[in-house]
Chain A
Amino acid sequence: MTDSWRLADTQVSSRLMIGSALYPSPEVMQSAIEASGAEVVTVSLRRQTAGQNTDSSYWSWLKQLPVHWLPNTAGCYGVREAVTTAQMAREVFGTHWLKLEVIGDEQTLQPDPFGLVEAADILIRDGFEVFPYMTDDLVLAQRLVDVGCRILMPWASPIGSGQGIRHPQNIMLLRERFPQVQLIVDAGLGRPSDATEAMEFGCDGVLLNSAIALSPDPTRMAGAFEQAVSAGRLGYRAGIMPQRQWASASTPTIGTPFWHQVP
């Protein structure tokens, strides 16, 4: 069963997108990315110091991979710096795709919803395809769609926390209310089953980094997430049975030996 999907203006097969940070070595990073089957990989920008080789070891490995780059604006706390970082990323990475991060709180790395909408509006007018890293707030989602976002990336829980989907109802509500939007759960996933859960809700994809990179065996964990995402997607497409309050025997009772009607 083919299940390719349209992400922005591009056809992709994998519904798992992963980050390239936190790996113990470039070799492990490359191996994990390949094992994940991901076709979209997040990248970032760092300050260049005098005489430093621009071709950092991680980037020199990354740029050989046949994937789509999704640059982020990590570390930006204001609209202006996020917009400028986005413009620099577009030139360096040669893509108009952008994972827009406007952080509002240092402890939780919670996105600033007001700055996020303002920056998204500016960048979409400037030709960017904005992938907004957002909380799971319904009204924020509507504001982002209003300014032209075709993709929404609600967090499951705070970045790097590994807590999984803290408010499943919010993710389900976003799916129900924005059926045409590409809904990608980003941040906070810890276990492969968290990714399965997101996909069972009907999300179009998941984006994660720490859950794979911080595993003692990132390559094996990347494979686990790849299968978990596929399982969740397949389950969603097949249709999940409704829950019942009490038991309902699955084995037919007709002809059961020693069976008798309970009075």
Chain B
Amino acid sequence: MSDSTVSIVVNNAPVRLKAPLRLTELLKHMACDDQSVAVAVNLDFVPRSRWANHFLQPGDQVEIVAPMQGG
């Protein structure tokens, strides 16, 4: 990995993006509607209010979830 990129795993798929990488930038890259998704990094919930200041680290496991039907 070069110094200018960061490799992470998003919803179980590898993603490599330019570093430094904030959560807000990842969500923009993923074309997510910010108001309809929630995020966890390495199994810890990250509230929406902290996305702009949360810098992703190499190897981070990111979960991005959205609403769906359920039982």
The interface of chain A, by Cβ under 8 A from chain B, is: 19-23, 29, 42-52, 54-56, 58-59, 62-63, 71-72, 74, 80-81, 84-85, 87-89, 91-93, 159-160, 209-210
> With A54-B37, A80-B43 known to touch, is A88 a contact of B65 (CB < 8 Å)?
yes
Q: Does B67 contact A (CB under 8 A)?
A: yes
A21–B67 alpha-carbon span in the complex (Å): 12
Please indicate the chain B residues that have their CB under 8 angstroms from the CB of A84 in the complex.
40, 43-45, 63
Interface centre among A45, A52, A159, A209, by most chain B C-beta atoms within 10 angstroms, is A45
A61–B44 alpha-carbon span in the complex (Å): 30
> With A54-B32, A91-B38 known to touch, is A45 a contact of B67 (CB < 8 Å)?
yes
| Given A84-B43, A92-B37: 8 more A-B contacts, CB < 8 Å | A20-B69, A44-B71, A47-B65, A49-B30, A56-B66, A84-B63, A159-B71, A210-B71
Instruction: Report the interface size for chain B: residues with CB under 8 A from the other chain.
Output: 27
Inter-chain contact B70/A20, CB cutoff 8 Å: yes
Please indicate the chain B residues that have their CB under 8 angstroms from the CB of A209 in the complex.
71
A71–B69 alpha-carbon span in the complex (Å): 9
Inter-chain contact A43/B69, CB cutoff 8 Å: yes
Inter-chain contact A21/B69, CB cutoff 8 Å: yes
Inter-chain contact A88/B45, CB cutoff 8 Å: yes
Please indicate the chain A residues that have their CB under 8 angstroms from the CB of B11 in the complex.
47-49
A15–B37 alpha-carbon span in the complex (Å): 30
Inter-chain contact B30/A22, CB cutoff 8 Å: no
A19–B71 alpha-carbon span in the complex (Å): 4
> With A55-B33, A84-B45, A88-B38 known to touch, is A48 a contact of B64 (CB < 8 Å)?
yes
Could you list some 25 contacts between A and B, CB below 8 A? A21-B70, A21-B71, A42-B70, A43-B70, A44-B67, A45-B38, A45-B67, A47-B12, A49-B30, A50-B29, A50-B30, A50-B31, A51-B31, A54-B36, A56-B66, A58-B68, A59-B66, A63-B67, A81-B43, A88-B39, A88-B63, A91-B48, A92-B67, A159-B71, A209-B71
